[in-house]
Structure 1
Amino acid sequence: MSKSRNANGLAKRIVRQTSLKQSTASRLAKQAHVYLGSSVVDSSDPHQRRLEAYIAHVLADGFKDRQLNGALLGVRAAEPEGQSVKLTLESDMADEVLRHLLPRFDHFYGGVRGVAGLRIRGSERELKLHDAASSAHVTVTRADGGHIHLPSARDGEVLLWKRVPGGLSHDERQEAEGWTDSRGIEDLRVRDLLLSRILRCPGLVNSTAEPHGFANCYTHHAGDLVIEWCCGDTVEALCAGLLAHGFADDVPRANAVELISRHSAHLGDRTVILNRHESCLYGPNAEDVAASIRMDYES
Structure 2
Amino acid sequence: MSRSRNTNRLAKKIRAQTSLTLSAASRLAQQANVYLGSSVEDSPNPQQSRLEAHVAHVLASSFQDRQLNGALLGVEEAQPENQGLKLILESNMANEVLRELLPRFDHFYGGIRGVPGLRIRGSNRRVALHDALSSAQVTVMRADHGAMRLPSARDGEVLLWKRVPGVLTRNERQEAAEWADSRAIVDLRVRDVLLSRILRWPGLVNRTAKPHGFANCYTHHSGDLVIEWCCGDTVETLCANLLAHGFADGLPRERAIELISRYSAHLGDRTVILNRHGSCFYGREGEKIAQRIRKHYGS
TM score, norm. by length of structure 1? 0.99
Residue-by-residue CA offset, 1:100-139 (whole Å, 9 max, x unaligned): 0000000000000000000000001111100000010011
Please name the residue that 1:272 is paired with.
Answer: 272
- Tell me which amino acid in the other structure corresponds to 2:72: L
Once the two structures are TM-superposed, the CA of residue 293 in structure 1 deviates from its matched residue by 1.1
Q: CA deviation at 1:3?
A: 1.5
SS at match of 2:77: strand
- CA–CA distance in structure 1, aligned partners of residues 14 and 83 of structure 2: 27
CA distance in 2, matches of 1:2, 1:51: 41
Residue 290 (structure 1) aligns with: 290
Q: For residues 206-217 of structure 1, what are the structure 2 equivalents within 5 Å?
A: 206-217=206-217
- 3-state SS of the aligned residue for 1:260? strand
Once the two structures are TM-superposed, the CA of residue 95 in structure 1 deviates from its matched residue by 0.2
Determine the C-alpha separation between the residues in 2 that align with 1:67 and 1:191: 23
The answer to whether the aligner puts 1:192 opposite 2:201 as a matched pair is no
Are the equivalent residues in 1 in contact too, given 2:182–2:222 (CA < 8 A)? no
CA distance in 2, matches of 1:125, 1:83: 20
1:218-257 aligned within 5 A: 218-257=218-257
What one-letter code is carried by the residue in structure 2 that aligns with 1:50?
A: R
SS of 2:223's equivalent in the other structure is coil
Task: Say which SS state the counterpart of residue 121 (structure 1) adopts.
Answer: strand
Q: Residue 257 of structure 2 contacts residue 265 of structure 2 at CA under 8 Å; is this kept in 1? A: yes
Give the Å deviation of 1:140.
1.0
Which whole-Å CA distance do the structure 2 matches of 1:3 and 1:232 have between them? 22
Give the root-mean-square deviation of aligned CA atoms: 0.7
| Other structure's SS at 2:36 match | coil
Letter paired with 2:63: F
Structure 1 counterpart SS, 2:37? coil
Deviation at 1:291, TM superposition (A): 1.3
Distance in 2 between residues matched to 1:252 and 1:278, nearest whole Å = 30
1:78 corresponds to: 78
Name the amino acid aligned to 1:110.
Answer: G
> Which residue matches 2:59?
59
Give the 3-state SS of the residue equivalent to 2:93 in structure 1: helix
**Counterpart residue identity of residue 24, structure 2:** T
Matching residue of 1:174: 174
Q: Amino acid of the residue matched to residue 29 of structure 1?
A: A
Provide the identity percentage.
Answer: 74
1:259-286 CA deviation, whole Å, 9 max, x = no partner?
0001100000000000000110111111
**SS in structure 1 opposite 2:120?**
strand
Tell whether the 8 Å contact from 2:104 to 2:112 is kept in structure 1 after alignment: yes
Is 2:77–2:203's contact at 8 Å kept on the other side of the alignment? Answer: yes
Deviation at 1:82, TM superposition (A): 2.5
Report which stretch shifted further, 2-11 or 13-22: 2-11
Give the paired residue count: 299
SS of 1:213's equivalent in the other structure is: coil
| Letter matched to residue 164 of structure 2 | V
Structure 2: tracts of 5 or more residues without a match = none
Q: CA deviation at 1:83?
A: 2.4
Cα separation, 1, equivalents of 2:178 and 2:280 = 37
Corresponding position: 1:108 with 2:108: yes
Match of 1:144 in 2: 144
Q: Spell out, residue by residue over 1:228-283, the C-alpha distance to the aligned partner (whole angstroms, 9 max, x if none).
A: 00000000000001101100011100000000001100000000000000110111
Partner of 2:31: 31
Q: Secondary structure at the match of 1:273?
A: strand
Shift of 1:8: 1.1
**How far 1:182 sits from its partner (Å)?**
2.8
TM-score normalised by the chain length of structure 2: 0.99
> What's the secondary structure of 2:80's corresponding residue?
strand
Query: Do structure 1's residue 203 and structure 2's residue 166 form an aligned pair?
Result: no
1:5 is matched with 5
- Indicate the SS of the match to 2:33: coil
